Amino acid sequence: MRCRKCGEKAVINMRQHRLSLCKQHYLEWLPNHVLKFIEKYEMFLEHDRILVAVSGGKDSLALWDILWKLGFHTEGLYINLGIDAEIAYSNRSMKFAKEFADQRNLTLHIADIKRDYGESIPEISTRTRRGRDKPCSLCGLIKRHIMNRFALDGQYDVLATAHNLDDEAAILLANTLAWSLEFLARGEPVLPSKPGFLKKVKPFIRTYEREAAAYAILRDIEYIRDECPFSIDSKQLYYKKYLNEWEENQPGTKLRFYLNYLSAIAQGAFPVRQESAGQLALQRCPQCGQPTNTGSLCAFCKLFNET
């Protein structure tokens, strides 16, 4: 297979785009592809301060590398969740994130939940009712809380996460199968800021997971290849497996699924339950000060108060 731009040997074939590219042209193409959608969805501007959520995996390091190459003002945030099992998962992920930042002279901030809150994810999972059944939901809750708090305290303009098209298609499939209308209303590439919440963006929203991995490999980015021990048998992996089977039979299935969903949102298919700015300003967690729907302790603080 040959590169469509120069005729050299291709290193990647993207059937959904009917495009095969050599190393040089792929490394030019992906950053421009990402930039196109940063602009299309008005994610951020040239002068904005961007906090990139970094896990040490291929997606977040590839995203940070692309934003850095494009000249955006970025800093990274790594959250050490204390997940070690037998593979020192969190500490090894953190090492990859640190090495990446050091090599590029970028600033990486590190939050450590064991150090800052006294317990690791496995410890909280064992202690709390919520964590026992669903450690992944616990992890999501904790990461969202810390990222939002850190981003607001640091007065960044925007928080960027490396959710890719496969992530979004899998979440969309899960929410569609469950008809979770509330969650179906929230799957857009940009979540605007509101009182107590920073603007959140997903610059990889039109990037396949395979494309992000290829970029990381071609750029010699070292990343953690092990799966989080808690994600084995996760529902997201289950849905991704089926989406990939459909994709192989009909290239572009995942992209069409997500883009048609965005069109449905734009047509008002999923009304958003919108708290007013006034409500959000008033309903603050008495412990941490972050917004909550209830006016009492937020879900994050409840976790640490549950015995």
Partner 1 sequence: MKQNHISASAHLAVRSGELITDDEMVKPGDLIELIPVISGG
Q: Site residues (CB under 8 A) for partner 1?
A: 1, 10-13, 20, 23, 55, 57-59, 166, 209-210, 212-214, 217-218, 225, 227-228, 231-232, 234, 236-237, 240-241, 244-245, 247-248
Residue nearer to partner 1 on the CB measure, 218 or 262: 218
Q: How far is the CB of 277 from partner 1 (least distance, A)?
A: 32
Residue nearer to partner 1 on the CB measure, 215 or 300: 215
* Angle between the N-to-C axes of helices 165-177 and 235-249, in degrees from 0 to 180, rounded to the nearest 10: 110
Q: Where do the H-state alpha helices sit in the chain?
A: 23-40, 58-69, 89-104, 113-117, 121-127, 129-133, 135-153, 165-177, 181-184, 209-218, 235-249, 253-266, 277-282, 299-305
Q: How far is the CB of 96 from partner 1 (least distance, A)?
A: 14
Residue nearer to partner 1 on the CB measure, 228 or 285: 228
**What is the distance between the alpha carbons of residues 36 and 41, in angstroms, rounded to a whole number?**
9
Residue nearer to partner 1 on the CB measure, 26 or 44: 26
List the structure tokens of 190. Answer: 């940009």
Residue nearer to partner 1 on the CB measure, 223 or 300: 223
Residue nearer to partner 1 on the CB measure, 57 or 187: 57
Q: How far is the CB of 160 from partner 1 (least distance, A)?
A: 16
Question: C-alpha distances in angstroms, 122 versus 83, 140, 163, 227, 234?
Answer: 6, 14, 24, 16, 16
- Per the CB < 8 A criterion, the answer to whether 203 and 67 are in contact is yes
Q: How far is the CB of 227 from partner 1 (least distance, A)?
A: 6
Residue nearer to partner 1 on the CB measure, 65 or 166: 166
List the structure tokens of 266. Answer: 């734009």
Q: How far is the CB of 245 from partner 1 (least distance, A)?
A: 7
**What is the distance between the alpha carbons of residues 120 and 209, in angstroms, rounded to a whole number?**
28
Question: C-alpha distances in angstroms, 86 versus 82, 90, 134, 228, 241?
Answer: 12, 11, 20, 11, 26
Q: How far is the CB of 149 from partner 1 (least distance, A)?
A: 21
Residue nearer to partner 1 on the CB measure, 249 or 307: 249
Q: How far is the CB of 237 from partner 1 (least distance, A)?
A: 4
The residue type found at 117 is Y
**What is the distance between the alpha carbons of residues 169 and 243, in angstroms, rounded to a whole number?**
8
Q: How far is the CB of 36 from partner 1 (least distance, A)?
A: 22
Tell me the DSSP string of 110-176: EEEHHHHHS--HHHHHHH-HHHHH-HHHHHHHHHHHHHHHHHHHTT-SEEE----HHHHHHHHHHHH
